[in-house]
């Protein structure tokens, strides 16, 4: 990842934040953290800079430049503006991860249309806007780019017991979107893959598992269905993210990499 310019959406916290740090640990020196709130994105960038200096003593003098940028992935103008900002600051974009995403649990028969459209706008349309705007810069610069769309194992299986049909459908679509873009851009130097986590311990799942006794039962049910018997730690995604982002995966495009402790196997 040496010298690669990386952009990660939804990176103020959660999996995006961990993947962004993994890129820095692997040698990337220029990183843009994109998130809904400018304050949170900037705070996360400052925090990542401090973390790197504490953990690695500043990398033996390596120049590290981390910036926080406001971006709503559901708004194409916001995505285009954020990518332009990043490109102006760093001169190119080599790696772009779309980790921004939301989940909600409602039975399908009572799922409101407004909430469903909100979710698709972020999870699916946002993936397209982010990939499209990053790819435009990669094509214009003629660089070898890697785009990673964070999907979910929910794009391959139906989760139980919580009802979340639109989320699962959005993630199945994200997976296929990644394959379609990969084929369209295969000869133009830009690779596109999806990364599909299983149940991971982040704020997205903690709101479900830590706020009630039903939530605790939910976690137990998920762990019982996971062959490795536990939820994933965000760090468990680092290797997969670095693999897909780096030249280690230079002949890999259009694939979906599932990191789920074996959940999808049985």
Ligand X SMILES: NC(=O)c1ccc[n+]([C@@H]2O[C@H](COP(=O)([O-])OP(=O)(O)OC[C@H]3O[C@@H](n4cnc5c(N)ncnc54)[C@H](O)[C@@H]3O)[C@@H](O)[C@H]2O)c1
Marked catalytic residue, from 167, 194, 238, 246: 167
Binding to ligand X by residue 166, rule CB under 6 A? no
Nearer residue to ligand X within complex by CB, 142 or 212: 212
Locus of tokens 């934040």: 17
Told to judge if 167 belongs to the known catalytic residues of this protein, a careful annotator would answer yes
What does the per-residue mask of binding to ligand X show for 189-208, with x meaning CB under 6 A? --------x-xx-xxxx---
Marked catalytic residue, from 171, 246, 249, 263: 171
Answer positive or negative: Cα dihedral of 126, 222, 18, 265. negative
Binding to ligand X by residue 45, rule CB under 6 A? no
Question: What is the SS3 string spanning 84-126?
Answer: HHHHHHHCCCCEEEECCCCCCCCCHHHCCHHHHHHHHHHHHHH
- Contacts of 55-59 with CB under 8 Å at 24 or more apart are 56/25
Among 5, 22, 101, 191, binds ligand X (CB under 6 A): 101
Shortest distance, position 60 Cβ to ligand X, whole Å:
30
**Which one, of 35, 153, 137, 42, lies nearest residue 95 by Cα?**
137
Among 95, 122, 131, 242, binds ligand X (CB under 6 A): 122
Told to judge if 171 belongs to the known catalytic residues of this protein, a careful annotator would answer yes
Binding residues for ligand X, per CB under 6 A? Answer: 9-10, 12-16, 35-36, 71-74, 99-103, 122, 150, 152, 197, 199-200, 202-205
Q: Which residues are catalytic?
A: 152, 167, 171
């Amino acid at each position: 990842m040496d010298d690669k310019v990386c952009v990660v959406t939804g990176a103020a916290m959660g999996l995006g934040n961990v993947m962004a740090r993994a890129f820095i640990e692997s040698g990337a020196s220029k990183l843009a953290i994109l998130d809904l709130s400018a304050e949170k994105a900037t705070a996360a960038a400052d925090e990542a800079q401090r973390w790197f200096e504490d953990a690695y003593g500043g990398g033996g003098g390596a120049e590290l430049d981390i910036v926080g940028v406001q971006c709503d992935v559901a708004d194409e103008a916001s995505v285009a503006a954020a990518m332009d900002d990043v490109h102006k600051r760093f001169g190119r974009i080599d790696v772009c991860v779309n980790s921004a995403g939301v989940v909600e649990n409602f039975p399908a028969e009572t799922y409101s249309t407004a909430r469903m459209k909100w979710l698709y706008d972020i999870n699916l349309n946002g993936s397209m806007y982010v990939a499209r705007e990053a790819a435009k810069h990669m094509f214009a610069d003629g660089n070898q780019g890697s785009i990673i769309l964070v999907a979910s194992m929910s794009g391959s299986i139906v989760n139980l017991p919580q009802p979340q049909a639109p989320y699962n459908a959005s993630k199945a679509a994200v997976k296929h979107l990644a394959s379609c873009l990969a084929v369209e851009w295969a000869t133009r130097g830009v690779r596109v893959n999806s990364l599909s986590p299983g149940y991971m311990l982040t704020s997205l799942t903690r709101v479900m598992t830590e706020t009630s006794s039903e939530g605790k039962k939910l976690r137990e049910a998920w762990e019982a269905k996971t062959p490795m018997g536990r939820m994933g730690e965000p760090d468990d995604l680092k290797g997969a993210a670095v693999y897909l982002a780096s030249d280690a995966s230079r002949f890999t495009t259009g694939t979906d990499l599932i990191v789920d402790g074996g959940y999808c196997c049985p």
